[in-house]
Structure 1
Amino acid sequence: MGCFQSVACKPRIKHENIMVCDLSASIDRRPTVIEENSPIVLRYKTPYFKASARIAMPPIPRNETWVVGWIQACTQMEFFNIYGDLGMSSWELPELQEGLVRAISDSDGVSYPWYGNTTETVTLAGPTSKPACFTVSMNDNFYPSVTWAVPVSESNMPLLTRIKRDQSFTTWLVALNMSTQEKVLLQTVKWRMKVDIAVDPSKPLGSRARLTGRVHQDQPKVLTQMEPIPPNALVKPNANDAQVLMWRPKRGPPLVVIPSK
C-alpha cells in the first residue's frame, strides 16, 4: 500500500501537497503531583502536554532539505511563590511582561527554532521519488523546585504558603525548507497549564501542601486557522535562559535572586 492510501488521507490539512493526516494534542487527565520529601524544597510535577502528527510528504523534486516538526513558544507566564505576608518570589520573563515581545521561544536551547531534535523533528533530503510518511511528536510538563524558606534569607525556616502558576503556550507544526528558508505552517495548537497549591508551613514535612482549584487541566485547542509565528519565537533566548527569579517583598524594593542567563 502506498503512503497516501495507508494514511487513509482524508487530510485534515493540505499545504503545498504536504498532508497532515492524524493530529492529536492533549494534556494527561491526571492531577499535578506534589512531592514533599526534601526539607529544602517542595517539588511538583504537572501532567504532560502531548502533541503528535502523522505527515505525508510528497516527493521532493530538487536537491533540497526539508525539516518537519514542532516549534513552541511561551506567550504568557505568571509564576508566584508566596511566603505569608513577607512577600513572594516570582519567575518572570521581563520582555514578555513589558509587552516588548509577543512570545518567547520554548526551544530546548540547542535545536532552534525546534522544540527538540529527537521525536520532535524529521529531516528529509531531496531529490526523492516517492512520498514519505512519518510521525513527529513532543511532550512538555513542569517539574520545578520551590524553596520552603524565603529564597533571600539565611534561615531554613519553612514559610512558603502558596504556589500559583499560570502559563500559556502556542505550538506550531511546521515544514521548513532549509535551502530557501520557506516555512509552511501546517497546524497551530494553544494550551495552558495552571497550578495552585496551598501550603501550611507549620505542619510537618510530608503533609504541608495540597492542590487547590481545579484538579484537571483544560484540553489544548487545535486552531481552525493558522496563526503566524512571531519572529522571536524562532530565535534565542529560549524561555529558560530569559527568565529571572525576583524576590518581591511586601515592604522594600524588589531583588533579583537569579538573573537571566
Structure 2
Amino acid sequence: MRRSLSDTLAFCRILLIVNAMGCIQSIRCKPRSFRESIIVLEVNSSIDSNPTTIDESSNVVLRYRTPHFRASARVLVPPVAGKETWTVGWIQACNHMEFYNNYGNRGMSSWELPDLREHHIQAISDSDGVNYPWYGNTTETCTVVGPTKKDTKFTVSMNDNFYPSVTWGVPVSDSNLPHLTSIRRDQSFTTWLVALNQATNETMVLQTVRWRMQLHIDIDPERPLGQRARLAEPTAQEQPQILPRNEIIPANAMVKPNANDAQVLMWRPKVGEPVVVIPPKY
C-alpha cells in the first residue's frame, strides 16, 4: 500500500550510530518538511577515527595531516511551480581558533584571526574563497531550476581537514636549524545545511552541525630528522554534534573574507615586540 506524505511525517527515528570504523552520527528523518517545501531525508556527520599523522620528510618544515570531518545530507525538493532557482548545500564558519607553534625559549609563531580573537565578530566564513557563501561548489551544493514537474532528490556532501607546514626554524630567521618544540591547535566550526533562493536571497537553515579539531604535538629538536615529533593528544577527535535545534548563520559567515584570506602569521618572541610574518591576503 502506498503511504501518503502525511502518514510518513508521523514517523521519525533518530539514530546515534557509534562504530569502530568512524563513530558516525546519523539522523534519519521522517522525512520532515521544512516550511512545507524542502524535505531533509537524512543527515550524517563524523570525524574519521584515524589519528593525526606526522611527516618529517623535509628538513625545512614539519607537516601533519588531521583526520577528516565529513558531512552529507540526502534532500528532496518537491516540484517547483515557478521560475525559481534554489541552491541547497553546506556553509561553514570558524568560531574559534588557537594555532600555536612553540620554539622553546625563543618564542612562538601563531596563525591568528584578529577580528575573531578580539571578539569583533562571532564567526568568520570558511568558504573556499570563490563560491561565497558555500564551502565549495562540487559535491557541496546542488541547484534546482524551476519549473519542475517531479520531485528532485540528491545528496550534498563535504569534508574538511588540516594539512599545514610548520618551519623547523624560527620563522623570522634565515636559518633552518630546528628549534620547534611543540604545536598546539584547537579550532571550532559550525556547519549549516542551507537552502538559498537565488532570486530573493531567502535563506532557510535545514540542519546545523558543530565540530571541533584539537591537536598537540611534542617535538624534540635535538633528535635526528624523522624521530623528532610525537603526537601527544588526542588520538581520537570528539565526534560532531548534529544539533536538535538550528542556529542562525552570522552575517560574517556569508561574505568575504574567508578564514584563509583573513588569517595572519605572527611571531611573538619571549623578549621584544610581536612581528607580522605573513599579513592577511584580504
Q: TM-score range by the shorter chain?
A: over 0.9
In the alignment, which of 34, 37, 53 is matched to residue 15 of structure 1?
34
**Does the CA-based 8 Å contact 2:29-2:40 persist in structure 1?**
no
Aligned to 2:234: 214
What is the distance in 2 between the residues matched to 1:155 and 1:126? 60
1:53 corresponds to which residue? Answer: 73
Equivalent residue number for residue 195 of structure 1: 215
Residue number in structure 2 paired with 1:103: 123
Structure 2: how far apart are the matches of 1:62 and 1:245?
A: 49
| Residue equivalent to 1:62 | 82
Q: Does the 8 Å CA contact 1:13/1:186 hold for their aligned counterparts? A: no
Counting only pairs closer than 5 Å after superposition, residues 116-195 of structure 1 correspond to structure 2 as 116-195=136-215
Deviation at 1:220, TM superposition (A): 0.2
The structural deviation recorded for 1:130 is 0.9
**How much does 1:179 deviate?**
1.1
Q: CA deviation at 1:214?
A: 2.1
Matched, 1:89 2:105: no
- Find the residue that maps to 2:105 and give its secondary structure: coil
Per-residue CA deviations over 1:6-31 (Å, capped at 9, x if unaligned) read xx985354212311111100000010
Unaligned regions of 5+ residues in structure 2, if any? 13-27
Q: 1:207 to 1:186 in 2, by over 3 A?
A: same
SS state at 1:113 partner: coil
2:272 is aligned, of 245, 252, 255, to 252
**Which runs of 4 or more aligned residues in structure 1 lie more than 3 Å from their structure 2 counterparts after TM superposition?**
none
Q: Distance in 1 between matches of 2:137 and 2:32?
A: 24
Measure how far apart 1:68 and its partner are.
0.2
Identical amino acids, percent of aligned pairs = 62
Aligned match of 2:92: 72
Higher RCO, 1 vs 2 (CA within 8 Å, ≥6 residues apart)? 1
Specify the SS of the correspondent of 1:11: strand
Cα distance change of structure 1 residues 243 and 12 upon mapping to structure 2, 3 Å threshold: farther
> How far has the Cα of 1:154 moved from its partner?
1.9
What is the DSSP-based 3-state SS (H/G/I as helix, E as strand, rest coil) of the residue aligned with 1:241? helix
- Describe the superposition over 1:41-74 as per-residue Cα deviations: whole angstroms up to 9, x where unpaired: 0000000000000001111111010000000000
Query: How far 1:233 moved relative to its partner?
Result: 0.3
Answer whether contact 2:29 2:42 (CA < 8 A) is retained.
no
For the residue of structure 1 that corresponds to 2:226, the secondary structure is: coil
After superposition, the Cα gap between the structure-2 partners of 1:13 and 1:90, relative to the gap in structure 1 and judged at 3 Å, is farther
Determine if contact 1:161/1:201 at 8 Å carries over to the other structure.
yes
Q: Quick check: 2:208–2:245 contact (8 Å CA) kept in 1?
A: yes
Q: Which moved more, 1:9-18 or 1:229-238?
A: 9-18
Write the letter of the residue equivalent to 2:69.
Answer: F
Residues 245, 258 of structure 1: 8 Å contact kept: yes
SS in 2 for 1:24: strand
SS of the equivalent of 2:233 reads: coil
Q: 1:86 to 1:12 in 2, by over 3 A?
A: farther
- Structure 1 CA distance for aligned equivalents of residues 64 and 234 of structure 2: 15
The size of the alignment, in residue pairs, is: 258
C-alpha separation in 1, matches of 2:116 and 2:34:
31
CA distance in 2, matches of 1:184, 1:251: 50
Q: CA RMSD in A?
A: 1.6
Tell me the distance in 2 between the aligned counterparts of 1:14 and 1:163: 45
Residue identity opposite 2:59 in structure 1: P
Measured at CA, do residues 187 and 10 of structure 1 come closer, stay the same or move farther in structure 2, by a change above 3 Å? closer
Tell whether the 8 Å contact from 2:94 to 2:189 is kept in structure 1 after alignment: yes
Is contact 1:26–1:219 with CA below 8 Å preserved after alignment? yes
Give the unaligned 5+ runs of structure 1: none
